[in-house]
Amino acid sequence: MHCIITEKDTAARRIAAILSGGKAKLKKVGGINTYEFDDKVVIGLRGHIFQFDFPEKYKNWSRIDPYELIYADLVAVPIRKDVVKALEKLARRAERVTIATDYDREGELIGVEALSIVKRVNPAVAVDRMRFSAITEKDIKESFASRTEIDFNLAAAAEAREIIDLIWGATLTRFFSLAAQRLGKDFLSVGRVQSPTLALLVDREREIATFVPQKYWEIHAHILTEGGKFEAKHPSKFSQRSEAEKALARIKSAASSAVIAEVREKERREKPPTPFDTTAFILSARRIGFSPKRAMDIAENLYLRGLISYHRTDNTVYPATIDLRGKVKMLTRIPALKPHAEEILRKKRLKPTEGKKKTTDHPPIHPVSVPSSPQAEGESGGSGEAEARLSEEEWRIYELVARRFLATLSDDAVWKDTVVKISAGGEMLVARGKELKNAGFLAVYTYAKRAEQKIPPLREGETVRIEKVEIVEKETEPPKRISQASLVKKMEELGIGTKSTRHEIISKLYERKYLRGDPAKPTEKAIALIELLRKYAPVITKADMTRALEQEMEKISEGTRSKEEVVSASREMLVSVFKEMETHRTEIGEALKEAGRADEYVGACPECSSRLIIRSSRRGKRFIRCERFPECSFSLPLPAKGRILVTEEHCDVHPSLLKLKIVNAKGAKGGEKGKRRSRSSVWDFGCPLCNFLRWKEGASENGEEK
């Protein structure tokens, strides 16, 4: 029997359908789906089979010194015992095993984990590897026909990261949590990747907080000509209003006899975008409303269903093996894309754009088949076609990928840029216009459309009238907060994390209550943590450290360093960090306690004006209580589930109180009619006192006991 092992059940089902021509039969093995045909069986895992952990004796945080974790021997713990048993059962009758997990570090490690179980039962089994970038009939059949060897170095690099992240994360998290006396669900998470990421955001928040705005003044004018109106500005930004007023007076004195001093027109060509790598995809998905994590989750689903190529890639150059013309022709089946695809097909030669990054593992993200959806003509079917219809969100992401692909094969957009200079009273006004002459790639890549600013036809020496001219007061603005998508790009530039993990790191920072909103704003707890790390363990906050470790893991992939050498070196680095922190445990704990209290503050007590603080009982109930309890007994109830987020918005009725949001409060009641929110991830809870009074009024109307 030939056993083929994939990473997930969706991939197993599609690969089995492709290789069997649609004849594979579903069979349960210990509760796990397998697909059998022609003495072959395909099984889909559920991600990692094992995870590293500390032995049981290290589990009690209060009794174990975090330092002991650095050199503790780790154990591999099965995550899904049913998957292990199913693999063992299949291994007993297997003559050959083919690993068909995703071809990247994590996928290779998952495959090696599965292989370790198979080899334990059947040491003599033959082993090989399928490598593919898309789950289509062509890709899968070619990959199966040209199987290769497993890359154990690639798997070792992923295993090294898992071990290093566990040791660093557990040691530092326990140290800071114990110092601040925040255990259980309120623990303080610290890690070698998330901490330098958080430091970027804290630095930006400090820049915003310390920014001092400077006033300046501009002169804006409305110009009237025979051909129409347009706007112009004085080229200077005046630091003194008096200087702006003098210039304004001179312009007004010649308002009816201003002269066109210069008209300069120039053609400008805007190049199409480069092919999608993971970071560019995340940035573009953010512009149409998707968070990095949501975009990647949807992209993974589209990949597993055989609609787009592998979504974790650093490549921005299409390999020569891609049938570009065939892909474009395929997209003519989608009505909205048909005219754009047909225009590209009329070209004698397709020459795509290229980015600076070229890798050999996976191509840039691109469509590989057409979905069965209301937007596509005809129905998909057969062993090699994508399954089922797309949801609205899935279609939007698929369409983004498809339009980007077509854009990379389209012509430049051509603009006419115009600069007009108007002389009035010895002062110069400047107007800038831009007019789209040939849409080129902008016709299909509609997300990148630019607004036109047209200027009527003008001649040098022509007299025009200044209809209105005024001084506009402005202020310099602080730097903007960083959005989640822009943070992914910044992490890539600094070498923090990988294409597969960056969006997950950002999600964890939100889960740990270090960030709120998008663009991301660090909480007081996060700011205090980074300040303490910078003071007592600065290496943890610097990208240099995590980038160096990433480079070491790359050497493991290349076979020039061993997993054991890199893990050992990271442990030694952690020892030096820990010793410095240990000498300042008391100061660190006090600072973190104070920061934690700041994030739990929801306003002033209506009865005594002291601070209202979020608290939890031993039984897990949550409530708001006056800081002077028991002297002041004022309190308000809070929902039992969901992460509580204190906003910066004050209640209109009770100005001393801040409004709340409840994140991931599935099944909680909300709204005036008490309807259940099915999948809404954020509940605008509002003012806790208003919410309580509404509930109290409703209980009274229903005859409930108050």
Question: Between β-strands 2-6 and 643-650, what pairing exists: parallel, antiparallel or unpaired?
Answer: unpaired
3-state class (DSSP) for residue 54: coil
C-alpha to C-alpha distance for 129 and 108, rounded to whole angstroms: 10
Which one from 35, 103, 303, 310 is the annotated catalytic residue? 310
Backbone angles phi, psi at 237, to 5 degrees: -105, 110
CB of 602 within 8 A of CB of 614? yes
- Cα separation values, 60 from 66, 174, 186, 191, Å: 10, 10, 16, 20
Determine whether 103 is an active site residue: no
For the chain, how far is it from start to end, CA to CA, in angstroms?
68
Closest CA to 662 of 688, 692, 642: 642
Q: Which helix (DSSP H) or strand (DSSP E) does residue 244 occupy?
A: helix 241-253
Instruction: Output the furthest CA–CA distance in the chain (Å, rounded).
Output: 97
User: 182, exposed or middle or buried, with CB in 10 Å at 0-12, 13-18, 19+?
Assistant: middle
3-state class (DSSP) for residue 271: coil
Check the CA dihedral 86-92-95-97 and report its sign: positive
CB of 608 within 8 A of CB of 618? no
Q: Which residues contact 619 (CB under 8 A, 6 or more apart)?
A: none
Closest CA to 299 of 256, 346, 242, 362: 362
Question: Between β-strands 32-37 and 40-44, what pairing exists: parallel, antiparallel or unpaired?
Answer: antiparallel
CB of 329 within 8 A of CB of 341? yes
C-alpha to C-alpha distance for 294 and 681, rounded to whole angstroms: 12
CB of 452 within 8 A of CB of 436? yes
C-alpha to C-alpha distance for 454 and 465, rounded to whole angstroms: 18
Q: Where are the beta strands (DSSP E) in 561-705?
A: 601-604, 611-616, 622-626, 635-637, 643-650, 658-663, 669-670, 675-676, 682-686
| 3-state SS string for 88-142 | HHHHCCCCEEEEECCCCHHHHHHHHHHHHHHHHHCCCCEEEECCCCCCCHHHHHH
Q: Is residue 519 reached through a cis peptide bond, with omega within 30 degrees of 0 on the bond before it?
A: yes
Residue 448 region, left (φ>0) first, then alpha (ψ -120 to 50), else beta? Answer: alpha
Q: Where are the alpha helices (DSSP H) in 272-391?
A: 278-287, 292-304, 324-330, 338-345
C-alpha to C-alpha distance for 305 and 302, rounded to whole angstroms: 5
| 3-state SS string for 460-483 | CCCEEEEEEEEEEEEECCCCCCCC
Q: Which helix (DSSP H) or strand (DSSP E) does residue 51 occupy?
A: strand 50-53
Q: Which helix (DSSP H) or strand (DSSP E) does residue 243 occupy?
A: helix 241-253
Q: Which helix (DSSP H) or strand (DSSP E) does residue 424 occupy?
A: strand 413-424
Would you please indicate which residues are annotated as catalytic (active-site) residues?
A: 310
